[in-house]
Amino acid sequence: MKKLYLALLLPFVGLLWLPLYDRTEPALLGFPFFYWYQLVWVPLTSLLVWVVWKRAAR
């Protein structure tokens, strides 16, 4: 169960490690990578929290 909770650290690592996405290319629909990378994490984080919540409720 603790491994499941560790999955909640993925958004923190993915968003707080700035050198990972501190660039403009590749652009997606006119958005630089810096912006769309962060926007992709919003639904991914929500999905991840939902999955952990559902699994923990069992």
Q: Do 26 and 40 meet the contact criterion of CB atoms below 8 Å apart?
A: no
Give the type of residue at 9: L
Q: What is the pLDDT of residues 4-57, one digit of tens each?
A: 899 999 999 999 999 999 999 999 999 999 999 999 999 999 999 999 999 988
pLDDT of residue 37: 97
Q: Can you read off the two tokens belonging to residue 13?
A: 């690592």
Q: Which two tokens stand for residue 7?
A: 């999955």
